Each structure stands twice: as C-alpha cells, then as structure tokens.
Amino acid sequence: MMNGNKTDFPIPVGRTAVGDAAFSFHCHSEVSCFLTCCHKVEMYLYPYDVLRLKNRLGLHSAEFMRRHTRIAEGSHSYFPAVMLNMSDQEGYPCPFLKKNGCSVYRDRPSSCRTYPLERAVEKLPGQKELKIHYFMTHHSYCKGHQQERCYTILQWERDQFLGEYNLMNDLWAEVDAFFATNPWQGEGRAGERQQLAFMVCYNIDEFRTYCFRRNLLSGFFLSKEERRRIKRDDAELLKFGFNWLQFILGDRRTLLPR
C-alpha cells in the first residue's frame, strides 16, 4: 500500500511519493523475475559506493575506477558523475552478478539497496537538517510489488542496512551541492582543483597517500581519536576529505585550522 504524501519536491517521472504508511514489496530467489534487475542497469555510483566495492574486491580505488566505471554527466555541469559499467556479455549483466546472485551483496551500492525505492535529499533554506524524500519506482518486470510482505521506510532502511550508506550519501550531497556553486576559481572542468576533488571523492587510496605524505591532518585541530580513525578507516578519511575540500576550495569552516 502506497501513501501519496504531499510534497513540493518534484516527483520524478514514473515514480510515486512514499510517506509513512507501509508499502508491499518482497524480493526473494523464488520470484520469476529474480536477478532481472541486475542487467543493463544505468547506475550511478557515489563515493561511498566506490569505497565499499573496491574494498570488497580488494582493488586499489584507481584500479576499481578504471575497470568498472565511466564518467557521466552529473546533476549539474560543474562536477562529473560516475557510473558502473555493465559487462558486455549477453544481456549486459552487472559485472558482480554470479549464477547464484550478487557476489558483492554485503557491499552492494546504494541504488541496489534502496531499490525499488529511490531516495532524494532536499536542503531547505536556513535549515541545517536535510529533508529526505523517498519515491517508489514501477518497473513492469519487477514482481516484488505483488508479494504480500509489507515494509515502512524505516523497516526498509533497517532491512537493507542503509544507515551508513545514507549518512555518507547525505555528506556527499552537501559536497556535490557545494561543487554546483562552481568553486573552481575559473579553472574550468578537469582543472587542477577539480582533479584534486575527484581524487578525494573517488580515489580514496590515492588520497590516503596524498594526505599522509603532505601531513594534512597536522594543519587542523583534530582529537587523537579522530586522527586514529582517519588513519585506519577509509570512510573516516573520506569524511575528512569532504570537509577538507570545502575548507580549501570554499573557505568554509568545516575544519578548524591550527
């Protein structure tokens, strides 16, 4: 059961808004469409998706990007987006799809976790908190909608372990909104600043080397515990990188300089 809640946020074509009420959906290996949706997918990857996948596959982030992704137009013209390449085998399956299903299931990208829903964030003027919107997709091939099990949004987020992904994607949404302000100081696309930003967002292993060779952490007030976490955890390094980019490119007080 869907709840068409009222919102001024534009509803994407072919979607319906989902509110607090439960919706019916269940995806399992017995549905006749099992794994149909893992073929020929036009899927955006966000920085945290790349981080999880490259760690799962044991690849350097540069190698992951080279093997599995392509650059695409983003939501604005000031920073590119990244998409997952499908394999060129018959039916164009996702490269991580194996006979029995998804081989990277625990680290599958945000879009796969969220499906059949889509999530959008809205920044309201003067408000710190982001407003979250969920929309229901309606693909005729997907039989999960006809199953009896029901979820609320909250239950779906828990069931799909979306918490960490949503948190990181919300931070990314702030950074991408900042990039949309054209902070490249006249350098244009793919200038030095934008390349640096791209490295931080999508090549965390390279950024790790860059960060520690230049001793970036020492320029800011960070607790011992924060430094320790940044040193050993890619996600914490990515959070630091997001703050650092806004600090150096936009003079935002996202970090406290020494």
Contact residues toward ligand SF4 (CB under 6 A) are 27, 31, 33-38, 41, 94, 96-97, 102, 104, 108-109, 112, 115, 141-144
User: In a 3-state reduction of DSSP, which class is residue 101?
Assistant: strand
Both structure tokens of 23: 């919706």
Write down the least CB distance from residue 159 to ligand SF4, Å: 13
Both structure tokens of 76: 């604005």
- Find where tokens 């799809």 sit: 97
* Residue 120 CB neighbours (<10 A): 17
C-alpha distances (whole Å) from 138 to each of 91, 107, 127, 172, 176 are 21, 25, 32, 27, 28
Decide whether 91 or 188 has the Cβ nearer to ligand SF4. Answer: 91
Nearest CA to 55 out of 109, 93, 100, 6 is that of 109
Decide whether 107 or 226 has the Cβ nearer to ligand SF4. Answer: 107
Query: Which are the contacts of 72, defined by CB distance < 8 A and separation ≥ 6?
Result: 44, 80, 81, 82, 83
Rounded Cα–Cα distance for residues 64 and 61 (Å): 5
Write down the least CB distance from residue 116 to ligand SF4, Å: 6
Decide whether 23 or 240 has the Cβ nearer to ligand SF4. Answer: 23
Write down the least CB distance from residue 49 to ligand SF4, Å: 9
Decide whether 92 or 220 has the Cβ nearer to ligand SF4. Answer: 92
Decide whether 97 or 197 has the Cβ nearer to ligand SF4. Answer: 97
Write down the least CB distance from residue 62 to ligand SF4, Å: 20
Contact (CB, 8 A) for 153 and 219: no
Decide whether 7 or 36 has the Cβ nearer to ligand SF4. Answer: 36
Write down the least CB distance from residue 151 to ligand SF4, Å: 13
Both structure tokens of 121: 């964030």
Write down the least CB distance from residue 108 to ligand SF4, Å: 4
